[in-house]
């Protein structure tokens, strides 16, 4: 046992087997032959049975019969000669007075006369041919001769019965009809030749239609080979007649009430199809139709048909045929009773009858044309089939038959009397060629066009089921209920015949099933509609979401643009005057460091002893300066936002603060430089100096930054013009070369404190670099364009901010400009000639800008308090740059005063300068 379960030892070598090379397959014959031979390696242990291909090939598959085109079957029925009686034939009027033709008294008298025996003009040769012999009078005139007409499918002699006619002519059609093939039988012939007799017959001697219906139900009872028991048969009968010769109309012979049918092209709508369940119902319907049909009494026929009558028997398929095991389709058996062609001489019709006769003859003519054209078409298909069928409603309705697409048969009824020779001869000559007409086996293709009548029952099926309306549901249910009732009745009848127990239960279940099915259809349609609406709503939601996203993106883009504009507005506003560019950046830089500097300044105040000393010394100096002036010095400190400072007392009171200290220092410096014994009313063109007393013209121009700058230049130039000596008025604006010179002179003359040249040089370097960068930025757009863009794009708050920044720029201009000019003054020291040239250039520029200012009146704008405070703070910071700047008066009179500075103050200044301009 252990050996059995012990694993086998692994082989020392492992063989990897590759797939063998592929070879082409041998042919079946070789394969079969090889398979037949026993393989040597198999040793008959597992023999694979050979594929029985020979057996399979030997099986004979029943080939479908080739569809041999059938010829048109034409039957001939000879009406028996009149039976003469001694009694006068009485013409009974029809029940309907409209069909009653007034009797001709003369003809009536002729008919009442006894006639001699009539000789027949047509004799039967065999079952397929006849001989037509003209009357003696015509033979003498040699106008006609004896003719033989042969090739008929069958010739019914005068003494044949209706059953013989049915058996020979209708039975094959019925067989095909029950197998699902449609067919048509039409009766042609002169008036009174026995067409209606052949088709309908009488109660005692029924025609082919009653016999056919009888056979249908008889076959259904006898055998199930035709699946008759599984089929429903419907009967519809209608007629086509002419109303006063104006047009063709169709009337339903089985309808209730108004029997007129709607005719559209070849479609007849509203035809009632009555299901026939038994022979009695069918015969009753036939009798009803016969009573409704329009007939009239003529000389040829006492009950002459005045219309074309069409009888349709439809077999509705209901499953699979037992014979063919294939889905059977609806079949239609159509029997047409045409109105007989009439000759006026024979009929003696007048008036309305004559009009009817014309319609009848016309229809017969069109029918014959269709058959002839079909024959010609089949002989030579290159010509094409002429569409004669369009000329009458009947031929339109029977189009498929008249085009050779469906099986059709004709029965020609003739009268055998000598006096009927012409009619018979004419008809036989016309109809004998029709025997060559062939019919193609294209039954299945033509099924859809077979029935061009729209039954009334189908109306309910056409109703829309889109809305769950109760009425529609009810109509559908009613329609289905009718159908079910019909089915139920038919099945009930069968059940009675086969004695099956209680079919009502199954009927009820079937009815409920149909009702629920239709209700489910309606609900399904409603759900479909809601689903579509839901999809539409979802699409709308998606589109709205997308639009919302787009709007958000747009808003973000606008925000970024606004931010960029805000940031650029600083530069753009400073670009109003190109020299103002560096000041903007310096201003921003100063703003950022404002808080830091403030804290630093406070720290210096608290910690540095020199700072305290400096403050005290400054107070003293200030007091001295104040005392030195006999009148209150109304000179304004050239700082920012100092317009409200008018007296030295206020300044002295503010000197405790570091910034006030700086301001006061500046004032002192200016006063030292100016040292005017008279009240100095020169205006310092600082920012927000509306309240500063100044010359009206200059003050008006100070509001606008550009004007302000220009005005400063003007002041400077005026100072040059007025004063023969260098103007030492302190105008802390831009382009004050003289001020810088004075400042420089002051620094040289009496200022003991070392001039902060290093600090100023560094400041100048920094701002020159800023000027370069910002001038590069400012070249992107013109100043006016930038201003306009800013005013248009920025909101109100941003505009206020921009205006504030404008003011700040102006102040910065006022601060920084002298520094730039300071560098120029250094160059002036080297060259006095270049100085004078520059002064001239500046004067010219000032004049040109003055002219521009006159053209553009500046607007006075009020600035918010926040901007005032901000500018003040910045001014206090920047004032250090202007420490050495001299103050001057516009009047040209100047007083210079040197400001001694201590070592501590100088150190403090350096510290402050370094901190402020890091």
Q: CB of 104: closest distance to ligand ATP in angstroms?
A: 17
Residue 321 lies near ligand ATP (rule: CB under 6 A):
no
CA-to-CA dists, residue 511 to 87, 311, 487, 523, 869, angstroms: 62, 31, 10, 18, 95
Residue 417 lies near ligand ATP (rule: CB under 6 A):
no
Longest dimension (CA), the chain: 177
Residue 308 lies near ligand ATP (rule: CB under 6 A):
no
Show the beta-strand stretches assigned E in 103-218: 122-126, 129-132, 147-150, 154-156, 183-188
Q: CB of 237: closest distance to ligand ATP in angstroms?
A: 16
Q: Are 443 and 181 in contact (CB under 8 A)?
A: yes
Among 301, 676, 689, 899, binds ligand ATP (CB under 6 A): 301
Q: At a CB cut-off of 8 Å and minimum separation 6, what does 386 contact?
A: 369, 373, 376, 377
Residue 364 lies near ligand ATP (rule: CB under 6 A):
no
Question: What CA–CA distance (Å, rounded) separates 198 from 168?
Answer: 13
Among 339, 416, 673, 839, binds ligand ATP (CB under 6 A): 339
Q: CB of 149: closest distance to ligand ATP in angstroms?
A: 19
* 8-state DSSP, 472: H
Among 183, 340, 705, 735, binds ligand ATP (CB under 6 A): 340
Q: CB of 346: closest distance to ligand ATP in angstroms?
A: 11
Residue 195 lies near ligand ATP (rule: CB under 6 A):
yes
Q: Does residue 154 sit in helix, strand or coil?
A: strand
Residue 891 lies near ligand ATP (rule: CB under 6 A):
no
Residue 79 lies near ligand ATP (rule: CB under 6 A):
yes
Q: CB of 209: closest distance to ligand ATP in angstroms?
A: 13
Residue 814 lies near ligand ATP (rule: CB under 6 A):
no
Residue 299 lies near ligand ATP (rule: CB under 6 A):
no
Structure tokens at 664: 């006061």
Instruction: Single out the segment in contact with ligand ATP by CB under 6 A; choices: 104-112, 300-308, 453-461, 610-618.
Output: 300-308
Instruction: Single out the segment in contact with ligand ATP by CB under 6 A; choices: 177-185, 269-277, 296-304, 596-604.
Output: 296-304
Instruction: Single out the segment in contact with ligand ATP by CB under 6 A; choices: 209-217, 302-310, 563-571, 849-857.
Output: 302-310
In the chain the first and final C-alpha atoms are separated, in Å, by: 99
Residue 191 lies near ligand ATP (rule: CB under 6 A):
yes
191 vs 702 by CB, closer to ligand ATP: 191
Among 304, 676, 740, 895, binds ligand ATP (CB under 6 A): 304
Q: Is the dihedral of CA 791, 793, 797, 802 positive or negative?
A: negative
CB-side exposure of 166: number of CA atoms within 13 Å?
21
346 vs 826 by CB, closer to ligand ATP: 346
Q: How many residues make contact with ligand ATP (CB under 6 A)?
A: 17
Residue 194 lies near ligand ATP (rule: CB under 6 A):
yes
Instruction: Single out the segment in contact with ligand ATP by CB under 6 A; choices: 37-45, 186-194, 383-391, 893-901.
Output: 186-194
Residue 357 lies near ligand ATP (rule: CB under 6 A):
no
Structure tokens at 351: 């008036």
Residue 153 lies near ligand ATP (rule: CB under 6 A):
no
Q: CB of 256: closest distance to ligand ATP in angstroms?
A: 26
Q: Does residue 180 sit in helix, strand or coil?
A: coil
How do 122-126 and 73-79 pair as beta strands?
Answer: unpaired
302 vs 693 by CB, closer to ligand ATP: 302
Cα–Cα nearest to 366, from 345, 405, 396? 396
Q: CB of 519: closest distance to ligand ATP in angstroms?
A: 51
Q: b/e map of 826-849 (b: 16 or more CB within 10 Å)?
A: eebeeeeeebeebbeebbeebeeb
Residue 134 lies near ligand ATP (rule: CB under 6 A):
no
Residue 303 lies near ligand ATP (rule: CB under 6 A):
yes
Binding mask 251-290 for ligand ATP (x = CB under 6 A): ----------------------------------------
Instruction: Single out the segment in contact with ligand ATP by CB under 6 A; choices: 184-192, 659-667, 688-696, 814-822.
Output: 184-192
205 vs 559 by CB, closer to ligand ATP: 205
Residue 347 lies near ligand ATP (rule: CB under 6 A):
no
Cα–Cα nearest to 365, from 386, 342, 381? 342
189 vs 210 by CB, closer to ligand ATP: 189
196 vs 635 by CB, closer to ligand ATP: 196
191 vs 895 by CB, closer to ligand ATP: 191
Q: CB of 466: closest distance to ligand ATP in angstroms?
A: 50
Residue 242 lies near ligand ATP (rule: CB under 6 A):
no
132 vs 416 by CB, closer to ligand ATP: 416
Residue 80 lies near ligand ATP (rule: CB under 6 A):
yes
Q: CB of 305: closest distance to ligand ATP in angstroms?
A: 3
Instruction: Single out the segment in contact with ligand ATP by CB under 6 A; choices: 190-198, 241-249, 283-291, 457-465.
Output: 190-198
Which parts of 464-493 interact with ligand ATP (CB under 6 A)? none
Q: What are residue 894's phi and psi, to 5 degrees?
A: -135, 150
SS3 letters across 670-735: HHHHHCCCCCCCCCCCCCCCCCCCCCHHHHHHCCCHHHHHHHHHHHHHHHHHHCCCCCCCCCCCCC
Question: Cα 421 to the chain's mean position, in Å?
Answer: 73
In the numeric block, the tokens 């099933």 are attached to: 513
Q: What are residue 82's phi and psi, to 5 degrees?
A: -65, 145
Binding residue positions for ATP: 189-196
Q: CB of 364: closest distance to ligand ATP in angstroms?
A: 10
Instruction: Single out the segment in contact with ligand ATP by CB under 6 A; choices: 303-311, 402-410, 647-655, 773-781.
Output: 303-311
Q: CB of 247: closest distance to ligand ATP in angstroms?
A: 21
Question: What CA–CA distance (Å, rounded) separates 868 from 577?
Answer: 22
162 vs 236 by CB, closer to ligand ATP: 162
How do 232-242 and 274-276 pair as beta strands?
Answer: antiparallel
Residue 192 lies near ligand ATP (rule: CB under 6 A):
yes
Structure tokens at 110: 């002729």
SS3 letters across 415-464: ECEHHHHHHHHHHHHHHHHHHHCEECCCCCCCHHHHCCEEEHHHHHHHCC
Residue 305 lies near ligand ATP (rule: CB under 6 A):
yes
Q: Does residue 23 sit in helix, strand or coil?
A: coil
Kindly write down the DSSP assignment for every residue of 737-777, as one continuous string. HHHHHHHHHHHHHT--SPP-HHHHHHHHHHHHHHHHHHHHH
Q: At what angle do helices 796-830 and 865-878 cross, to 10 degrees?
A: 20
Q: What are residue 160's phi and psi, to 5 degrees?
A: -75, 155
428 vs 670 by CB, closer to ligand ATP: 428
296 vs 333 by CB, closer to ligand ATP: 296
Torsion angle (degrees, nearest 10) of CA 459, 464, 469, 473: 40
Binding residue positions: 189-196
Residue 196 lies near ligand ATP (rule: CB under 6 A):
yes
Residue 193 lies near ligand ATP (rule: CB under 6 A):
yes
Q: What share of the chain is helix, strand, coil (3-state, %, to 5)?
A: 55, 10, 35
CA-to-CA dists, residue 585 to 7, 573, 574, 590, angstroms: 92, 11, 9, 8
Question: What CA–CA distance (Å, rounded) separates 730 from 685?
Answer: 10
Which positions lie near ligand ATP, rule CB under 6 A?
79-80, 189, 191-197, 301, 303-305, 339-340, 413
């Amino acid at each position: 046992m252990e050996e059995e379960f012990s694993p086998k030892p692994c082989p020392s070598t492992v063989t990897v087997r590759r797939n063998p090379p592929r070879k082409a397959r041998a042919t079946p014959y070789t394969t079969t032959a090889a398979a037949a031979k026993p393989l040597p390696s198999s040793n008959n242990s597992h023999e694979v049975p050979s594929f029985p291909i020979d057996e399979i090939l030997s099986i004979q598959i029943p080939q479908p019969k080739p569809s041999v085109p059938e010829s048109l079957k034409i039957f001939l029925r000879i009406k028996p000669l009149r039976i003469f009686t001694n009694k006068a034939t009485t013409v009974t009027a029809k029940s309907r007075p409209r069909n009653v033709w007034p009797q001709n008294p003369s003809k009536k008298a002729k008919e009442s006369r006894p006639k001699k025996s009539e000789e027949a003009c047509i004799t039967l040769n065999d079952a397929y041919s006849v001989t037509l012999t003209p009357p003696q009078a015509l033979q003498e005139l040699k106008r006609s001769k004896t003719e033989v007409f042969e090739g008929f499918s069958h010739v019914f002699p005068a003494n044949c019965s209706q059953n013989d006619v049915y058996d020979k002519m209708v039975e094959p059609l019925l067989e095909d009809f029950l197998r699902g093939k449609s067919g048509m039988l039409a009766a042609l012939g002169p008036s009174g030749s026995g067409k209606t007799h052949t088709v309908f017959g009488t109660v005692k001697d029924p025609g082919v239609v009653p016999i056919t219906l009888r056979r249908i139900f008889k076959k259904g009872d006898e055998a199930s080979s035709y699946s008759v028991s599984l089929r429903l048969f419907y009967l519809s009968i209608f007629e086509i007649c002419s109303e006063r010769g104006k047009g063709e109309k169709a009337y339903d012979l089985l309808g209730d009430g108004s029997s007129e049918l709607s005719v559209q092209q070849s479609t007849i709508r509203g035809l009632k199809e009555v299901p026939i369940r038994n022979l009695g119902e069918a015969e009753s319907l036939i009798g009803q139709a016969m009573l409704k049909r329009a007939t009239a009494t003529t000389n040829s026929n006492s009950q002459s048909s005045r219309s074309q009558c069409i009888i349709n028997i439809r077999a509705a398929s209901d499953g699979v045929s037992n014979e063919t095991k294939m889905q059977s389709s609806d079949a239609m058996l159509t029997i047409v009773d045409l109105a007989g062609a009439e000759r006026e001489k024979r009929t003696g019709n007048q008036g309305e009858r004559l009009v009817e006769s014309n319609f009848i003859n016309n229809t017969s003519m069109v029918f014959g044309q269709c058959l002839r054209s079909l024959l010609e078409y089949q002989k030579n298909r290159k010509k094409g089939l002429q569409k004669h069928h369009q000329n009458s409603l009947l031929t339109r309705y029977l189009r498929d038959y008249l085009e050779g697409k469906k099986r059709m048969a004709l029965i020609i009824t003739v009268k055998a009397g000598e006096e009927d020779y012409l009619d018979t001869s004419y008809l036989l000559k016309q109809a004998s060629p029709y025997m060559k007409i062939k019919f193609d086996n294209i039954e299945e293709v033509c099924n859809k066009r077979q029935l061009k009548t729209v039954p009334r029952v189908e109306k309910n099926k056409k109703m829309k089921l889109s809305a769950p309306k109760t009425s529609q549901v009810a109509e559908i249910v009613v329609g289905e209920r009718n159908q079910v009732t019909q089915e139920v009745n038919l099945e009930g009848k069968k059940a009675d015949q086969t004695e099956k127990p209680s079919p009502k239960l199954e009927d009820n279940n079937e009815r409920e099933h149909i009702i629920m099915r239709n209700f489910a259809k309606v609900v399904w349609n409603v759900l479909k509609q809601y689903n579509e609406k839901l999809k539409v709503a979802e699409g709308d939601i998606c589109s709205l979401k997308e639009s919302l996203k787009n709007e958000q993106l747009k808003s973000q883009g606008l925000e970024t643009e606004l931010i960029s504009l805000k940031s650029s507005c600083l530069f753009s506003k400073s670009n109003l005057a190109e020299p103002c560019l560096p000041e903007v950046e310096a201003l921003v830089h100063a703003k950022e460091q404002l808080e830091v500097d403030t804290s630093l300044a406070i720290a210096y105040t608290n910690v540095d002893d020199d700072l305290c000393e400096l403050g005290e010394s400054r107070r003293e100096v200030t007091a001295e300066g104040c005392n030195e002036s006999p009148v209150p010095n109304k000179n304004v400190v050239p700082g920012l936002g100092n317009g409200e400072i008018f007296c030295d007392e206020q300044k002295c009171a503010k000197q405790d603060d570091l910034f006030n200290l700086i301001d006061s220092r500046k004032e002192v410096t200016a006063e030292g430089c100016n040292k005017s014994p008279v009240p100095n009313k020169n205006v310092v063109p600082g920012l927000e100096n509306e309240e500063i007393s100044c010359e009206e013209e200059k003050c008006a121009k100070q509001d606008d930054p550009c004007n302000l700058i220009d005005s400063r230049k003007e002041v400077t130039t005026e100072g040059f013009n007025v004063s023969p000596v260098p103007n030492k008025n302190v105008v802390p604006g831009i382009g004050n070369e003289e001020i810088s010179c004075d400042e420089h002179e002051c620094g040289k003359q009496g200022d003991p404190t070392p001039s902060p040249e290093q600090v100023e040089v560094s400041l100048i370097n920094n701002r020159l670099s800023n000027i370069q960068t910002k001038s590069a930025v400012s070249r992107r757009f013109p100043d006016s364009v930038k201003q306009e863009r800013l005013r248009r794009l920025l909101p109100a708050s941003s505009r206020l901010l921009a205006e504030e920044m404008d003011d700040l720029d102006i102040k910065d201009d006022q601060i920084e400009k002298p520094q730039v000019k300071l560098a120029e003054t250094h160059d002036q020291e080297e060259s006095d000639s270049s100085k004078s040239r520059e002064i001239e250039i500046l004067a010219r520029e000032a004049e040109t800008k003055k002219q521009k200012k006159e053209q553009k009146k500046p607007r006075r704008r009020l600035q918010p308090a926040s901007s005032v405070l901000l500018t003040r703070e910045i001014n206090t910071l920047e004032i250090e740059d202007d420490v050495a700047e001299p103050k001057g008066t516009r009047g040209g009179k100047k007083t210079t005063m040197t400001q001694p500075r201590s070592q501590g103050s100088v150190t403090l200044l350096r510290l402050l300068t370094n901190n402020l301009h890091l």
